[in-house]
Amino acid sequence: MSGYIDLHNHILPATDDGPADLKEALSLARELADQGYRKVAVTPHANSGRPERAVIKKKVSALQKALDAEKIPLTLYPGAEQHIEPETAALLAEGKLMSLNESRYLLLELPMFQPLPPYTWQVLARLDHLNYIPIIPHPERVVALQMNHQLLYQLYEAGALFQVTWTALSGLLGPAALKTANFMLNANLIHLLATDAHHPQSRLLYLDKAYSTIEKRLGKKALNQYLTTRPQQVLTDQSLELAPPLSARTTRPRRIPFLARLFKV
């Protein structure tokens, strides 16, 4: 099977913590193509409107030409992994931030190891007012969400969707990420899945076990939705048809320890 679509990828050379040069970027592209991917949203880390939208689009175009020259069957789309900031919505309204293929979907990264910023809810409300849909990448690795699963429901109610990293379902990103990813899977809170690939021959590309997990637990149709249908709908700015989340009582979340209070907003 092929035709897969990846919505979170750091394939641009010499841009962030992804490939150091074009050679490494081409190696990563070949690995993605070999695994069946045909479309990739390029999502470099971005802060305060940098890299600028024009810079991202120029680099994506240059890399696409290199892929075509090497006959690597991969089509690239511009995007960015925007770190949440107080001015996120304002910068977006001014046209200074890059959404996923310039759609209404914005990849919005939360702090990995700190509490959720106190302005999180205000940013989400402003994005909703602007008719943008924030997609939270790798929520299973955000410590605040690992320690307090109720925050997942609160973020969802505030308009956010969640994009889990495929290999989290394989346990390759650690037990805490696996536990949170499983909770989210049981709660219907995994809306999208992506590689978050940075380098060739990375553990983020060990995908077979993760694919198998989804197929065994949700069926082949769900696997196809995660690999092709939903990401294609994002790239073409269509609405997603999603099942509502199950309650925390239904999913039986773990008891939140005392230290989790430190991570509440």
The domains of the chain are located at: 4-263
Handedness of CA 64, 132, 142, 138 (dihedral sign): negative
**Cα torsion for 234, 105, 60, 13, to the nearest 10°?**
-110
pLDDT at 250 over 70: no
Identify the three-state secondary structure at position 218: helix
User: Do residues 108 and 134 lie in contact, with contact meaning Cβ atoms separated by under 8 Å?
Assistant: yes
The model's pLDDT over 23-81, given as tens digits with 9 standing for 90+, comes to 999 999 999 999 999 999 999 999 999 999 999 999 999 999 999 999 999 999 999 99
Quote the percentage of the chain above a pLDDT of 90: 91
pLDDT at 259 over 50: no
CATH class of segment(s) 4-263: alpha beta
Q: What is the pTM of this model?
A: 0.91
What does the pLDDT read at residue 247?
A: 79
Tell me the one-letter amino acid at 101. N
The model's pLDDT over 148-188, given as tens digits with 9 standing for 90+, comes to 999 999 999 999 999 999 999 999 999 999 999 999 999 99
pLDDT at 86 over 90: yes
What does the pLDDT read at residue 263?
A: 32
Averaged pLDDT for residues 208-227: 96
What does the pLDDT read at residue 2?
A: 77
Q: What's the pLDDT band for 262 if we cut at 50, 70, 90?
A: very low
